[in-house]
Amino acid sequence: MHIKGNLSKFERMEEGSQITEFGKVFIYLVVGTLLVLLTLLLGKLLSPKKPTAAKQSTYECGEVSQGSSWIQFNSRFYVIALVFLLFDVEMVFIFPWTTVFGSSELIAADGRWGWYTLVEMFIFIGILIVGLVYVWKKGDLEWIKPSPKIPALQTTIPQKIYEASNKKNYQVRPFGAIPTQTAEPSKVQENTAPKPAFKPKFITKGS
Amino acid sequence: MDNHKQTADGGIIVAKLDDLLNWARLSSMWPVSFGIACCAIEMMGAMAATYDLDRYGVFPRASPRQADVIIIAGTVTFKMADRIKLLYEQMPEPKYVISMGSCSNCGGPYWQHGYHVVKGVDKIIPVDVYVQGCPPRPEALIGAFLELQKKISLEKNNINKTLKKNATTS
């Protein structure tokens, strides 16, 4: 068989090339890196640089940054986030399951399909619930509450006055039922003074 | 030079470095995504599907470090003025300012009784293009960008000086 004779020009060239497939990936990487470096170099050469104190300062949406960013975060968020992620992923599995579970075609093919998928999903959720129970038992779901020292005020006013004030019920007046006081017509004075109208004035400089 | 001569039949375009830089700058004017008042709604309209400012290379950036233009779209209160000034300072050169709408042009409806309004953003930062209107329509903002493109295309960059300076410092 003369397969070689039927090869196109391109294929024959490929056969003789010295670069392996990984070599092509290497060239790709080198050219990619060089292009990025060239762009950075061009930017470095061509861009005008006028650094000022304000320009070098940290960008915080126009605010002047305050304090250090090296502060402590409470680690309880970490565990809660992990547990949340676990059950979030569970939802991702349940949603496609519902479409297969309710598929009328598959149920028509075999009546036991519905029961089979339902039991399977309960096994899946059961395993995850074991995980939840484990986390609960370990006490990872307990929120570490701060115990602040509430300062006690030194006053001579007894505490029960405050309590009485807190328990006091205020009567709410019914809305809209305010009796209107009608003045005698003789006493009503006609307001003849002209209303102060808005008149924009052009302020000249120096005035 | 007409296009035929420029390409020299070989697909090569000959240009001055100055023109090339200006062309690059005017084709990708990235504004800071920054709006203060109602003019910002028109600005968003200009950037959204109907007017599509992106076809001029105008694409909002979330950081002044990547931005070329700041659109002052709205009422500049005294409280905001400090922030605007800092944002403008934090933008890299070259930077341009578009003052959009009456409020940022001159104080607008607050020019007399607005105790809290800066009477024109040009009192705190230099403005390149003023857009009139209260608020201006998106077409007006697009017009402002076209005017700014004209301005940038005529700029002298003094590229030799920059090159020399960058070569010595780096």
As a whole number, mean pLDDT of residues B50-63 equals: 91
Q: Cβ of B93 and A64 within 8 Å?
A: no
Tally of helices (H runs) and strands (E runs) in chain A: 8, 0
| pLDDT over 90 percentage in chain A | 14
Question: Which helix H or strand E contains B71, and what residues bound it?
Answer: strand B69-73
| A and B: number of Cβ contacts within 8 A | 49
Class level of CATH domain B28-135: alpha beta
pLDDT given at position A178: 62
Query: Could you give the ipTM of this predicted complex?
Result: 0.74
Alpha-carbon distance of A186 to A142, in angstroms, equals 75
Residues lower than pLDDT 70 in chain A: 1-17, 177-203, 205-207
**Chain B contacts of A62, Cβ < 8 Å?**
82-84, 86-87
Residue ranges per domain, chain B? 28-135
User: Does residue A52 belong to the interface with chain B, where contact is any CB pair within 8 Å?
Assistant: yes
Backbone angles phi, psi at B73, to 5 degrees: -100, 85
pLDDT given at position A1: 45
The answer on pLDDT for B147 being more than 50 is yes
> Mapping DSSP to helix (H, G, I), strand (E, B) and coil, where does residue B130 land?
strand
